[in-house]
Structure 1
Amino acid sequence: MTAVTDATFADTVLAADRPVVVDFWADWCPPCVGTSRHLAELAEEFGDRLRVVALDTDANPDTTRAYGVMSLPTMLVFVGGQVAGSIVGARPKNHLRLAFARHLDT
């Protein structure tokens, strides 16, 4: 998974030519560890159809605040530079797979 920052968020996420899942996480968040593992596996499964990136909320407070992230982990799905979906809290991998697949062109 690619790491994004406040400085790279617009170019990496908002200007992307495909759906992007942003994993908002922090080192102190135990559920974030399992979620990050699931997301890395799903990134491989989806390949070029979906991009998955991670944003450390402690190191990047501007983006975290801008999108109102209050709980971790939070995953926002961006399509065409806009938030098209969100998942708050740890979820099973299959739940994440199905949620993200809804945002892909069929």
Structure 2
Amino acid sequence: MKSSRRTFLITSIGVASTFALSRQAFADAPQVAETDPTAQALGYKADASKVDKAKFAKYAAGQDCGNCSFYQGKPTDAYAGCPMFAGKQVASKGWCSAYNKKA
């Protein structure tokens, strides 16, 4: 019994430290530039209030990355990951045409 408890603790510590390290590594990821080709294709703006509403009619006030289902951070995080921009962070107050309201 002691060995399985020891194994569990060692495994838990390993998993927790791996998670902490990967979260820190992602926190150091670069922010998406609006000039990035993917950002331009998706109409990404770091400030949702600056979205070209004529070009992106889907946009509605109140939509921003922080309340999008793809946003990988907490709504209170200034920047977090998004699968649309692999390895880069988007602004919580940003928006792109892939926006999908969080349930």
Give the TM-score, by structure 1 length.
Answer: 0.23
Give the TM-score, by structure 2 length.
Answer: 0.24
